[in-house]
Amino acid sequence: PEPGEASEIAAETWDSLVLPAPQLTQLKTAAAAARVADGTIVLLAGPSGTGKTLAAKVLAAELELLLVMVDLATITPDPEGNIPELEDLADLPPCVLLLKHAPHWFGRTPTADSALVQSWLIQRRRQPGLTLLSSPYLQSIRPTWRQAMAGVVEFPRPDAAAREVLWKRAIAGVKKERALTWPHVARQLALTGGEIVTLAQTALALAQQTEPPLLTLDCLQQALALHHPGMTLAKAGLGRSRRAKPKDA
């Protein structure tokens, strides 16, 4: 792969995604469009950790194509304003091409010459495969570029129900103490899927220090202090009033 580029054969399925039904339908429609038409281009917009890269992997697996990921933040024009990498991107085999940090080329203040990008995009539309632009904010992409997309999929931050599913998946197969309940953790910590995975990995590493390994509330609190110092996780039921026991007659 060229600098800023990575490729892989994806194996994820639709079940890998934890998204609302409308977004799942949009992604499946994009896959269907890419099967029958060359040069389908779709914008994926949403905060970091909400599933844009995972969605690209699912689409690549669904279409049975290689996934090529390019970070546009790492590609800068030469002194003459040319972008040598454009030639490589124009000669890609059929693939799912994910352009990360899309505002660097398609934003309101792009680092690349818009005419060069437009010329490349015209070439890309003639090639088989699917092109995905990834941006943390929909409004970061210039309206003219947004209008040129075959589709726009907005990835929301997960709600409490989705976060519970994400926690269960991230900690699957690991014994935890009874006081640690995922509905409570999901309600307390408004995190993205990516943040949950990172937090879970650290908590699991801490859990391995006991024999046998046991995931505790303290493990999660320590992981939280490392990755999100401003957030706290209270024990379930803390602050709730307790029912008074009836006095003996």
Helices 160-170 and 193-207 meet at what angle, rounded to 10? 40
Residues 101 and 179 in one domain: no
Residues 150 and 53 in one domain: yes
Strands 95-100 and 129-135 turn out to be parallel
Alpha carbons 241 and 204: distance in angstroms, whole number: 32
- The shares of helix, strand and coil residues in the chain, as percent rounded to the nearest 5, are 45, 15, 40
Residues 58 and 121 in one domain: yes
Position 120 in a domain: yes
What does the radius of gyration of the chain's CA atoms come to, in whole angstroms?
22
Q: Which pLDDT score, from 0 to 100, does residue 189 have?
A: 96
At which of 154, 175, 202 does a domain end? 154
Let me know: does 131 contact 39? Beta carbons within 8 Å.
yes
Alpha helices in the chain (DSSP H): 21-36, 52-63, 85-90, 103-106, 114-125, 143-148, 160-170, 182-188, 193-207, 217-227
Position 247 in a domain: no
Q: Give Cα 71 to chain centroid, integer Å.
A: 14
Residues 69 and 104 in one domain: yes
Q: Which pLDDT score, from 0 to 100, does residue 243 have?
A: 38
Q: What is the pLDDT along the chain (249 residues), one digit of tens a residue?
A: 444 556 666 678 999 999 999 999 999 999 999 999 989 999 999 999 999 999 999 999 999 999 999 999 999 888 888 898 888 888 888 999 999 999 999 999 999 999 999 999 999 999 999 999 999 999 999 999 999 999 999 999 999 999 999 999 999 888 999 989 999 999 999 999 999 999 999 999 999 998 889 999 999 999 999 999 999 898 876 444 333 344 443
* Widest CA span in the chain: 93
CATH label of the domain that carries residue 201? 1.10.8.60
Q: Which pLDDT score, from 0 to 100, does residue 247 have?
A: 40
The sign one gets for the Cα dihedral 104, 108, 109, 113 is positive
Position 241 in a domain: no
Domain count, the chain: 2
Q: Which pLDDT score, from 0 to 100, does residue 60 have?
A: 96
Alpha carbons 120 and 113: distance in angstroms, whole number: 11
For residue 215, the enclosing domain spans 160-227
Q: Which pLDDT score, from 0 to 100, does residue 6 have?
A: 63
Residues 107 and 79 in one domain: yes
Residues 120 and 9 in one domain: yes
- Partnered with residue 130 across adjacent β-strands are 40, 96
At which of 136, 154, 172 does a domain end? 154
Position 114 in a domain: yes
* Sheet with 129-135, edge to edge strand ranges: 5-8, 66-71, 95-100, 129-135, 40-45, 151-154
Q: Which pLDDT score, from 0 to 100, does residue 242 have?
A: 38
Q: Which pLDDT score, from 0 to 100, does residue 91 have?
A: 81
Residue with tokens 């092109």: 131
Q: Which pLDDT score, from 0 to 100, does residue 89 have?
A: 86
Alpha carbons 207 and 203: distance in angstroms, whole number: 6
Residues 186 and 208 in one domain: yes
Q: Judging by beta carbons within 10 Å of its beta carbon (0-12, 13-18, 19+), is residue 111 exposed, middle or buried? A: middle
Position 237 in a domain: no
At which of 97, 119, 154 does a domain end? 154
CATH label of the domain that carries residue 50? 3.40.50.300
Q: Which pLDDT score, from 0 to 100, does residue 171 have?
A: 94
Q: Give phi and psi for 101, each to the nearest 5.
A: 55, 50
